[in-house]
Structure 1
Amino acid sequence: MFCYRIQFSVLWRTIHSHKFCFSYTMSKATFSDLVQIFRSGVLVVQPDKLIRNSVNYNATTEKLIIAGDSYNLQNKDVFLVGTGKAVQNMAKELEKILGGKIKHGIVSIPDGSKSETVINKYVRYSEGAKNNLPDKNAEATAIKVKKLVSSLTSNDLLIVLISGGGSSLLPLPREPITLEEKCGLVKKLANAGADIVELNTVRKRISELKGGQLAMRAQPAQVVSLILSDIVGDPLDLIASGPTTENNDDPNAAADIIKKYNLYEQLPLSVKTILNELNDSKEFPKDKVNNYIIGSNKVSIHEAANQAEKLGYLPICLSHQVIGNIEIVAQEYVKLAELFCKLIEGTLNKEEFKSSIDSLNIPGISTNFIEDDKVMDLLKHKDVCLVLGGEITVEVKGKGKGGRNQQLSLEFSNIIHKIKGRFSHFEVDFLSAGTDGIDGPTDAAGAMGYLDLVSESKEVNIDINDYLNNSDSYNFYKRFKNGELHVFTGHTNTNVMDIHLIVIRKKK
């Protein structure tokens, strides 16, 4: 058997020092390769590296350069706030760059991720949002952030660091809504299948700091935001619910979303009161706020493809915009794998293949690679690694434990098993994992699947349907092969959504 429980500290150093004892179809080499490819996609979007690439400060002239734009810090005080899974290392790198220029800072980071390293004693790091769920600790930090930004003057520069997870780490419901009421609504929406756009639209409407409110409360200070995107298309107003971006949502949008999922009648009076209030007519200070995206999923999957090539695969980046329900995405990924097998075998020509790919329900998918004769030739001779990314949604069916990445790997394995006869000349392996290292309310980043997973689970009397029907993917992977297909990393301190890898190998 192949025993491989990946721990993040080891992941950063080496893959090959682990003990391998593999007994199932997915090969030792492929498992190791998939982990390395995923790892490379995470490493390239490490926050400290992104900050170094984007920010420069000349202490002599007191000029701060961000993405080519210059800010004069002479006679200015600098303040720092941050929220998200990646902002701790963003903030610490910024502390190093700015030295003692930062007068005060408050950074909200995930529970259990705090580093003891102190660079500037005036910058405080506060933990909260255990399991990525808003809690009283995160709310207390949000209250402190609101107080800080509301005290700024025209002689101040506020630097705001934002990344995925920022919504949960900066929860401050508009009164009279309580945190419990807000969390309950968001949980019901998520369980009903609401996507991240819908969830954040609702969050903005019922929050004190989201939807541009943080930047507005900081006036008349200059506000600069450095953002690590965790949403498809990098929409500034939705990343961490857009605390420093103008909110142009229709005032009725949040209520319409809640009604769409038949939850409006269940709302507490406090939420209905806020939804029915007229919007604040205060104008957003566009001339005093600048937002910079310094990292995204696109960067991550392209680096993953580079690593795949180094490992001898033919990498093909197909999309960094994948969204949708898990069951649909899994079905489309199986169709995608089958089409590539037919192209490799020669049973589909280029035109037929392109037409079939274009008909798939995979947002942002590109077929430009088929115009490259070198790539088409290599398809016949190399193992192929398809690289995709994005963030999908899961409709919770039961009371099990899991996350979208583990569920996607399990769904993919189940669907491909039903048509495995079409893959008689191939092995197909799959990895889905979150770059933040935390998949749903679990300690796993994701999991792997493969063509024969269902067959092998049946051999040991494990019925995959029991777990799929109860949204219990975590416990399936914990039980099957003693958890060897789980990907464990711990907090990675970054977050640019998820990476999906499909490896197609001709049987030897």
Structure 2
Amino acid sequence: MARLLPVHVRRVFCQPHSPIRNMANLQDDAHRIFWSAVSAVLPPRMLPRALTVRDTGGSSVLECGGKAFTLKKNLYLVGFGKAVLGMAAAVEQIVGNHLVEGVISIPQGMEESLKQAGKREMLLNTESRIRVMEGATNNMPDEAAMRAAGEIQRLAEKLEEQHLLLVLISGGGSALLPAPVPPLTLPDKQAITQQLALKGATIQELNTIRRALSQLKGGGLSRAAYPAQVVSLILSDVVGDDLDVIASGPTVCSAYEAADCLQILSRYGLRGSVPAAEEVLLSRPRAEPSQHLGHVHNVLIGSNLMSLREAGQESQTLGYLTSLLSAAVSGDVKLVSRFFALLAEVICSYIMCAPQRQRLEEKILALASSMDIHDLNLAELLQDLTEAGGVDAVCVLCGGETTVQVQGNGRGGRNQELALRVAAEWHKCQAAMQGCDVMFLSGGTDGQDGPTQAAGAFSYPELVEQARQGGLDTEAFLKDSDSYGFFSHFQNGRRLLVTGLTGTNVMDVQVLLVRRCKDQ
């Protein structure tokens, strides 16, 4: 497998290019930093870096991931995911008439959303050889997505040894490629994934089950395309960038243990509530993956880390002392919210030279050790804050994907709930941040946070008190899993992050800004 991006987060802590500007609205800064993260992984920027066509004296060669493939009107394309429409448009610009045929499966409404947003560079032209099929409304597999999966499977199965199949994969691809193993039906498969998601199952757990129940996931697509050469261009939307997890690994051949699947069902109390046919299937040992692995080449072309690095450059331009803390923030949203709230207190204690700094440091180090976040550069951040001295404004960047256990009938998503819970934590300790302005933003890079029109939300220490004065009970909204309802009522929704579907997806981005008040 070729990787165009580094896997591990490397600490970034840089002096700003210029003194902090006198900007009254931290929300504008947070929004600008977030959008720079999204822009870094938009297809028109990513694909030209990953894919080139070179003429070599009468013939053409496709170069990707350090490998070269001869083009002889033998190129086919399939794709599935939230970023795939823009990826396909960029690929077709690069390969031109070498492409024979293509089929892509994208979210319902994606094409129209990009049209309305004026993002013509992310749309196929009218003469495209790529057929667009939409489905998976609200990121759930449906009959439309199943039809698209069938077309993708048929295209792959007709290929021969002289053919080259280019596969475009991004986040959301799993829901857009449903092909249950007979005799299972799509409703059978939907039932188990919906129940697992509602109970807070991780993306890794969900994909383990999906692979076990699918014809195309877990390397199934690459097996269908054999003996054709397969080149996958993958945009990661999972912590750790594990290729067998992204869209459930349709081009990553892997076996699974039936015991792992049954253990996941038991963990969430679902062993007795899933269809009997699923229990039978999950209990059967699966054949080892195909030995024909030489025809598959997987290339990682974009990730959350790449987006955070771009955001870091933007925050420096705005005048912030910037730290890239982690691209692997995961776990229960309640615990993660406590971490971000406490982190703001710690940074404020440095800016204000507060006497409680050492106590707060010890507290956050203990909390961080209980969270098991990979590549969390907290100790380095604290050290650099100490060495910086006299800092007035700090930006901390994180990325990843938290989990939420839905407990009510409200609407929301993990980013909006995280932002609201951070504000609720701050409400308990506003005095600890006197002298500083603080803003927190959490947003999904795909532009959709749960079944809502928002990508995420902004919060700050005074939010809960202002809501109370307006007659809003924050705890009631949280108990009803209605973070979207809260932010929609609050200041006419101006604390919601609304971007529309962006055409990309590399998990979530968090921006924490802490700045000395102007009168201090």
Shared topology, TM-score over 0.5?
yes
Partner AA of 2:320 in structure 1: Y
Which of residues 492, 507, 513 in structure 2 aligns to 1:503?
513
State the match for 2:35 in structure 1. Answer: 39
Which of residues 60, 63, 68 in structure 1 aligns to 2:61?
63
CA offsets, 1:185-221, max 9 Å, x none?
A: 1111111111111111111111111111110111111
CA contact (8 A) 1:429 1:503 kept: yes
State the match for 2:79 in structure 1. Answer: 82
State the match for 1:13 in structure 2. Answer: none
CA distance, structure 2, for counterparts of residue 371 and residue 412 of structure 1: 24
State the match for 2:136 in structure 1. Answer: 129
Summarize the alignment of residues 246-395 of structure 1 with structure 2, pairs less than 5 Å apart.
Answer: 246-281=253-288, 283-347=290-354, 357-359=364-366, 360=368, 361=371, 363=373, 364-366=375-377, 367-370=379-382, 372=384, 376=386, 378=388, 380-395=390-405
Q: Does 1:158 align with 2:165?
A: yes
CA offsets, 1:8-45, max 9 Å, x none?
A: xxxxxxxxxxxxxxxxxxx8521111110000000011
The TM-score with structure 2 as length reference comes to 0.88
CA distance, structure 2, for counterparts of residue 460 and residue 130 of structure 1: 35
CA contact (8 A) 2:219 2:289 kept: no
Q: Secondary structure at the match of 2:175?
A: helix
State the match for 1:23 in structure 2. Answer: none
State the match for 1:11 in structure 2. Answer: none
Aligned-pair distance for 1:246?
1.8
Partner AA of 2:347 in structure 1: F
More deviation in 280-289 or 458-467? 280-289
State the match for 1:406 in structure 2. Answer: 416
Q: Secondary structure at the match of 1:323?
A: strand
CA distance, structure 2, for counterparts of residue 141 and residue 204 of structure 1: 18
State the match for 1:421 in structure 2. Answer: 431
Q: Does 1:440 align with 2:450?
A: yes
CA distance, structure 2, for counterparts of residue 262 and residue 173 of structure 1: 23
Partner AA of 1:345 in structure 2: M
CA distance, structure 1, for counterparts of residue 130 and residue 291 of structure 2: 28
Q: Secondary structure at the match of 1:399?
A: coil
More deviation in 44-53 or 343-352? 343-352
Which structure carries more relative contact order (alpha carbon 8 Å, separation 6+)? Answer: 2
State the match for 2:20 in structure 1. Answer: none
State the match for 1:49 in structure 2. Answer: 45
5+ residue gaps in structure 2?
1-22, 116-122
Q: Does 1:237 align with 2:237?
A: no
CA distance, structure 1, for counterparts of residue 431 and residue 292 of structure 2: 60
CA contact (8 A) 2:418 2:442 kept: yes
CA contact (8 A) 2:346 2:361 kept: no
CA contact (8 A) 1:214 1:244 kept: yes
5+ residue gaps in structure 1?
1-26
Q: Secondary structure at the match of 1:257?
A: helix
Change in 2 beyond 3 A, CA 1:362/1:341: farther
Summarize the alignment of residues 90-169 of structure 1 with structure 2, pairs less than 5 Å apart.
Answer: 90-114=87-111, 117-118=124-125, 120-169=127-176
CA distance, structure 1, for counterparts of residue 459 and residue 289 of structure 2: 51
Q: Percent identity over the alignment?
A: 38
CA contact (8 A) 1:436 1:491 kept: yes
CA distance, structure 1, for counterparts of residue 124 and residue 155 of structure 2: 23
CA distance, structure 1, for counterparts of residue 356 and residue 312 of structure 2: 25
CA contact (8 A) 1:314 1:378 kept: no
CA distance, structure 2, for counterparts of residue 289 and residue 350 of structure 1: 53
Change in 2 beyond 3 A, CA 1:354/1:222: farther
Q: Secondary structure at the match of 1:204?
A: helix
CA offsets, 1:219-270, max 9 Å, x none?
A: 1111110000000110000001000002243232112101110101111122
- Give the aligned CA root-mean-square deviation in angstroms: 1.9
CA offsets, 1:423-465, max 9 Å, x none?
A: 2222221100000000011111001110000000011111011
CA offsets, 1:50-96, max 9 Å, x none?
A: 110111102443111113321222x4611100000001111111111
CA offsets, 1:125-152, max 9 Å, x none?
A: 1111111111111111001111111111
CA distance, structure 2, for counterparts of residue 315 and residue 501 of structure 1: 10
CA distance, structure 1, for counterparts of residue 434 and residue 381 of structure 2: 25
Change in 2 beyond 3 A, CA 1:76/1:251: farther
State the match for 1:17 in structure 2. Answer: none
CA contact (8 A) 2:349 2:357 kept: no
CA distance, structure 1, for counterparts of residue 296 and residue 499 of structure 2: 36
CA distance, structure 2, for counterparts of residue 379 and residue 439 of structure 1: 38
Partner AA of 2:108 in structure 1: D
